[in-house]
Chain A
Amino acid sequence: MHIPDGFINLPTAAATSVASAGGVAYALRVARTRLLDRQIPLVGVTAAFVFAVQMINFPVLPGVSGHLIGGALAAILLGPWLGCLVLATVLMVQAIGFADGGITALGANISLMALITAAGGHYLFRALTAVLPRGHRSFIAATAITAWTTVFVASGLAALYITYGGFAGAQQAAVIIPVMLAIHAAIGVGEAFITTAVVMAVLSARPDLVANADRLQPAERRRTRTSSRALVAGGIVAAFIAAVGLSSFASSQPDGLEATVMRTQCTAAADPAACLEAAASDPVFTASPLPDYSVPWVAGFVGVVACLAVGAGWMRTVRRRPQPTPVRPREREPSLR
């Protein structure tokens, strides 16, 4: 999602630079008073980790690549403004040291991946944990949802920058925006997975370092179970988000196969248009309860529930013996000797 030089026009670059400069300046002011000595290793390791994680790129469109961001991770571990600073710093190093992301586009990239993802992600996380019952599971679920949502929203905004505010132009928006959103909906699942894994690990070993640990029960702040159930729950939540949220962007045009079938059947007909219409309302397509995903988000919801039920039922029948109980992690930090 790093936008290079030349991809956004001058007004967009100027506006986002001002916004980012303001955000980073505020974050600096907060950090100067709040950054404790003992947090510095966590800040440094998070920055290095985010940098490493962002190097894993997937080409999305010609000119746009998708990758894991790590903003939600930084925000949940470090808080909004320190997290925002870490992301902004990583972006600056990437732009200057590795030419990954343009200099004039630095403001835009910071607004996307530091302000929206880290600062915005933190407030989303606080809102979610305020609504959900206090506890370990809610923490994990909120982490996964925040990670996915920040990636999704940031990708949409990036698409807006390069279409309405950049070289692609508004006429390409109808193509670029859905593709960016769709691909980042998938990448967001990976982001949720990695973010949740790392947050769970840090919670189990060093909950004193996690800035948002006040959302856990007091007893849980000392020891937490790292059960795979939390991860499964996170995955299920992500699947629902993808199915319900993403499906609204699905095209209602017949997919390649359907369209080809209908067209070949109807080329020889006397009235091709009427034939196509009749074919589209063929009982083959309309006999099912939700023909052709007619109400997308309902179809998505029902589909995920059905898949889960079938999948769970299948797993229960095929497994040969009960799963062994997960081993509790050691409560002190791992020793390197």
Chain B
Amino acid sequence: MSGAHGHGAAGVEAVAARDSAIHRLDPRAKIVCLILVAVVAASTPAGAWSALLVQLGVVVAVAVVARLPLRYTLRRMVIEVPFLVAALVLVVVAGDGGVRGLTLALKLTTSVVAMIVLSSTTPFPRLLHGFEALRTPRVIVLIVSFMWRYLHVLGEEWHRMRIARQARGHTARWLWQEWSLGPVVAALFLRSLSRGERVYLAMASRGFVGTAPATTMTPLSLDAADAMFAAALTAAVIAARTVLV
């Protein structure tokens, strides 16, 4: 199911299922460190070029070590293009030699790459497991896991309804021919709800009690690699923020 951002959830999971030093790290370490990088980068003052470049370099280095495909990463970075345009506008409009605009662009890119690395090196159930281990409220984990499950239900229903529409001769070349979208969307919601209820009953009758499934996955455990990764990343980013500014 691909959205207007030009990437699909399936594509992300395919890359997350690969193997590399970063893929093997404990999800908790990745979550904490990569979010820390994004937060520290956002708080860096404008014009601190060395700090900003070091922070960007750190996340790019992690992406390289994780062996993320270049075209895939660039495609996922497409989401920030409108915001890069805003930064460009700021360069032109602000009249301070492009300092604020360029700072904005660097912070934006750092944050986006950090999140791309996090989501591309950790399969979704394991990521959720990591969040749960970090004491995220149970209700939120529940909503997220069901949202993820039902996204696929929704996608499959939509696919079926689209084919049914086409099989009945629907060719929309003009905007008003899309009037049927209203009832289709409504029916999509209802059918997904029906199917979703059956999925939930099936899960409940197989022993689902509200926690992320831990049986089919290796249990989480922090080891030396995680400690080294966390130490290196944190040190680099905080040093950049405090020393190089």
Contacts and interface: CB of A to CB of B under 8 A. Distances in A.
Interface stretch (B114-122, B219-227, B235-243): B114-122
B212 interface: no
Contacts of A100: 5, 79
B162 to A, nearest CB: 14
A64 B81 CA distance: 11
A35 interface: yes
B140 A42 contact: no
Contact of B140 (A49, A85, A97): A85
Contact of B83 (A4, A41, A88, A333): A4
Interface string A261-289: 00000000000000000000000000000
Contacts of B119: 96-98
Nearest to B37: A103
Contacts of A127: none
B150 A45 contact: yes
B93 to A, nearest CB: 8
Interface string A1-30: 000111100100100000000000000100
Contacts of B88: 62
B146 A57 contact: no
Interface residues of B, number: 68
Contacts of A49: 154, 189, 192
Contact of A52 (B86, B111, B139, B151): B151
B52 to A, nearest CB: 10
B151 A62 contact: no
Contact of B182 (A13, A57, A193): A193
A334 B182 contact: no
Contacts of A52: 1, 3, 151, 154
A98 B191 contact: no
Contacts of A205: 190, 193
A201 B186 contact: yes
Contact of A42 (B116, B139, B193): B193
A32 interface: yes
A110 B5 CA distance: 21
Contact of B187 (A48, A168, A334): A334
Contacts of A130: none
B185 A197 contact: yes
Please classify how large the interface on chain A is, using the bins under 10, 10 to 19, 20 to 34, 35 or more: 35 or more
B41 interface: yes
Interface in B60-92: 76-77, 79-80, 82-83, 85-90
Given A48-B192, A96-B115, A41 B199 contact: yes
B144 interface: yes
A304 interface: no
Contacts of B35: 96, 103
B19 interface: no
A99 interface: yes
A57 B4 contact: yes
A241 interface: no
A51 B151 CA distance: 8
B82 A41 contact: no
A247 interface: no
Nearest to B157: A336
The residue among B5, B42, B77, B89 with the most chain A CB atoms within 10 A of its own CB is B42
A59 interface: yes
Contacts of A32: 138-139
B83 A202 contact: no
Contacts of A4: 80, 83, 108, 111-112
Nearest to A49: B189
A6 B189 CA distance: 36
A205 B187 CA distance: 10
Interface in A42-81: 42-45, 47-49, 51-52, 55-57, 59, 61-65
A61 B83 CA distance: 9
Given A85-B139, A333-B194, A6 B183 contact: no
Contacts of B18: none
Contacts of B195: 336
Contact of A45 (B83, B116, B118, B189): B189
Given A63-B89, A98-B5, A103-B39, 14 more contacts: A10-B43, A40-B200, A42-B196, A45-B189, A45-B196, A48-B147, A52-B154, A92-B140, A96-B118, A102-B108, A103-B42, A104-B39, A198-B189, A202-B189
20 contacts: A6-B42, A28-B140, A37-B204, A41-B199, A45-B189, A47-B146, A49-B189, A59-B82, A62-B82, A86-B143, A88-B140, A96-B35, A99-B79, A99-B111, A104-B38, A104-B39, A193-B182, A209-B193, A334-B194, A336-B195
Interface of B: 1, 3-5, 12, 35, 38-39, 41-43, 76-77, 79-80, 82-83, 85-90, 100, 103-104, 107-108, 111-112, 115-116, 118-119, 124, 127, 137-140, 142-144, 146-151, 153-154, 182-183, 185-187, 189-197, 199-200, 204
